[in-house]
Structure 1
Amino acid sequence: MQHKLENAIEKRSHLLDEQTNALRLVDGVGDGLPDVFLETFASHWVVSTRDGRLHPEIRAWLQQQAHSCYWKRLDQHEKENPQHIAGPKQDEPFIARESGVNYKIHLQAGYSQGIFLDQRLNRIRVREHSGPGKTVLNTFAYTGAFSVCAALAGATTTTLDLSQIYLDWARDNFRANDLAPDDHYFCKGDTFHWLKRFARQGRTFDGIILDPPTFSRDDKGKVFRVEKDYGRLVELAYACLAPGGWMLCCTNCRKLDPRDFSRMVRDAAPSSTITALDMPEEYTGENYLKSLWVQKR
């Protein structure tokens, strides 16, 4: 196991530099280590396992490394914090970098530490397709990583999430990149409600990000399931998309076949050019993240 872990990390070493110190280092079955995942955040490591246990050999190897290391059990409730297992404790938030962008990371923030690393290439694409005078809407925004990338390119962003905690975190991410949050918009509430409101107001955006959780419940108890409701979400967003604008449509729902996902998006976004996007090269295991770039004609 030690040999596999070291080979996996070495294979990704070319992706780590002054501009990027947050990255997936071990990707499960793709590295010959099924259900074992290792991520680095500015030299702080998080190892995740699916079966509720950490193999003693892996634990022993991690304890020999010069990193603070935490273990996350993927089969547990999302509010459970990762457990400290090696190295110095890092229980306070800190800054990590990806593609030259700063993000606030908190290892004791529950299921996710502040950024989903599998969206690395998509964040680059959003930044490349944003710019001065453009408007970008980031729905289900979590800590606003896509918003930060669009804002760094000069766009005016609207960051939308149900959680005030995450909206405040998003503002922290803006400040971490010398961006003024007051120059942008932050909306608390349900994405479906806000998209209908924007449509009534005649408000459109040059770019829209749709990356919802696989399952969620709004503040009125209404359930959203990607495999059933994603098409309706795209339809509402498309009505708010300016002519010539783009949408990034993503889901990590493993139950949803890529062809069915593409069909849902195509049916809800007529008169568009749709391109399937690849996952980053460091994800050598399951090809679970489905991403489509929708360009409105």
Structure 2
Amino acid sequence: MDQNRVSFITIPKTWKDYELIDCGGGEKLERFGDRILIRPEPAAGWPKTLPEAEWIKQHDIRFISRSTTKGEWVKKSKNISDEWFIGYQNKDVHLKFRLALTAFKHVGIFPEQAANWDYIASSLRSFKKAQPKVLNLFAYTGGASLIARACGAETTHVDSIKQVITWANENQQLSGLKDIRWLVEDALKFVKREIKRGNTYNGIILDPPAYGHGPKGEKWKLENQIEEMIHDVVKLLDKEEHFLILNTYTSGFFSKNIETLLREAMPQIKNLETGELYLPAATGKKLPISAFGRFKKAL
């Protein structure tokens, strides 16, 4: 049996618009472009390296939790806007993202995913097909979709929230791209329809939440439906050239769970990598963020 490579993968050091400055005490101090934020981070269960006074001095905005799911942002100055822009660049693409303060502590981008963005780009470069097809499920504000489209792929972006897709479309325009296919859909229902249609993709990206709802109230619970989703999704992979990325932030769902799911759904799998995505802090700590599994096949 092909043995998987367990990896601990981080973001490119060349990304100038993002930096994790410090983490600890259940929080992270991070810079997005010209803004420095303090946000809750349950994985940072160790003491802060920098003193609290330094955190207070450096930050512009801090998220204060008011419940398990929501909170509010507290700004140092009223002149700080709720929206701003950052860029991302590698040897294949140059993208631009609009960031914004949301009630859920998110800002519109998950920086650790840059490790998977580079994997998408390198996979597409290795394919012989002139215009590969990529499907991005639970696609949020579209970082992976933008990377795929910028690399020349025919890209389909699926998310259940219309406002999020509008945000992703803004990022497409900011990045000078066009023609991504936007779908406000329930991801599992869409996959089943694509199987019936006989459609296939060279790349599939999944970043499912622990809980969620489709546009018509369809319920998603990862522990109940992820097995069905993966068994269906692998049926959509092109037989000759493909890659698949599964990422999850769900507590208690580890890379070993992902490995088992992928091997059960696709016993002939090759080049499987599983592990954790982490962010390196300038103070030396390594902050684990999510578990992932990914594999590819090229001619």
TM over 0.5: yes
> Residues 184 and 239 of structure 1: is their aligned pair in 2 closer, same or farther, counting only changes over 3 Å?
same
> Residues 76 and 127 of structure 1: is their aligned pair in 2 closer, same or farther, counting only changes over 3 Å?
farther
The equivalent residue for 1:5 is none
Q: 1:225 aligns with which of 196, 217, 221?
A: 221
The equivalent residue for 1:261 is 258
- Residues 168-226 of structure 1: CA deviation (Å, up to 9, x unaligned): 1111111111112xx22101110001101111111111100011112213344443232
Q: Secondary structure at the match of 2:277?
A: coil
- Residues 120-172 of structure 1: CA deviation (Å, up to 9, x unaligned): 21111112222550111110000011000111111111010011111111111
CA distance in 2 between counterparts of 1:226 and 1:58 reads 38
> Which structure: greater strand fraction?
2
Question: What TM-score does the superposition give when structure 1 sets the normalisation length?
Answer: 0.80
The equivalent residue for 1:192 is 188
CA distance in 1 between counterparts of 2:191 and 2:261 reads 18
CA distance in 2 between counterparts of 1:75 and 1:122 reads 32
> Residues 62 and 278 of structure 1: is their aligned pair in 2 closer, same or farther, counting only changes over 3 Å?
closer
CA distance in 1 between counterparts of 2:36 and 2:269 reads 41
Match status 1:61 vs 2:54: yes
What runs of 5+ residues in structure 2 fail to find an aligned partner? Answer: 1-9, 43-47
CA distance in 2 between counterparts of 1:130 and 1:23 reads 27
AA aligned to 1:114 is: G
> Residues 75 and 134 of structure 1: is their aligned pair in 2 closer, same or farther, counting only changes over 3 Å?
farther
Q: 1:42 aligns with which of 33, 49, 65?
A: 33
Question: Which moves more between the two structures, 90-99 or 169-178?
Answer: 90-99
> Residues 75 and 128 of structure 1: is their aligned pair in 2 closer, same or farther, counting only changes over 3 Å?
farther
Question: Which moves more between the two structures, 237-246 or 153-162?
Answer: 237-246
Where does 1:66-85 land on structure 2 (aligned, <5 Å)?
69-73=60-64, 76-84=67-75
Question: What TM-score does the superposition give when structure 2 sets the normalisation length?
Answer: 0.80
Match status 1:113 vs 2:103: no
Where does 1:134-149 land on structure 2 (aligned, <5 Å)?
134-149=132-147
CA distance in 1 between counterparts of 2:106 and 2:117 reads 17
> Residues 50 and 158 of structure 1: is their aligned pair in 2 closer, same or farther, counting only changes over 3 Å?
closer
Q: Is the 8 A contact 2:159 2:186 kept in 1?
A: yes
The count of residues paired between Structure 1 and Structure 2 equals 269
What runs of 5+ residues in structure 1 fail to find an aligned partner? Answer: 1-11, 28-32
CA distance in 2 between counterparts of 1:24 and 1:88 reads 24
The equivalent residue for 2:248 is 251
CA distance in 1 between counterparts of 2:160 and 2:83 reads 22
% identity of equivalent residues: 20
> Residues 63 and 26 of structure 1: is their aligned pair in 2 closer, same or farther, counting only changes over 3 Å?
closer
The equivalent residue for 2:231 is 235
Q: Secondary structure at the match of 1:272?
A: coil
CA distance in 2 between counterparts of 1:48 and 1:250 reads 21
CA distance in 2 between counterparts of 1:212 and 1:36 reads 23
- Residues 103-126 of structure 1: CA deviation (Å, up to 9, x unaligned): 110124643100011212111111
The equivalent residue for 1:128 is 122
AA aligned to 1:267 is: E
Match status 1:289 vs 2:290: yes
Q: Is the 8 A contact 2:64 2:72 kept in 1?
A: no
Question: Which moves more between the two structures, 190-199 or 236-245?
Answer: 236-245
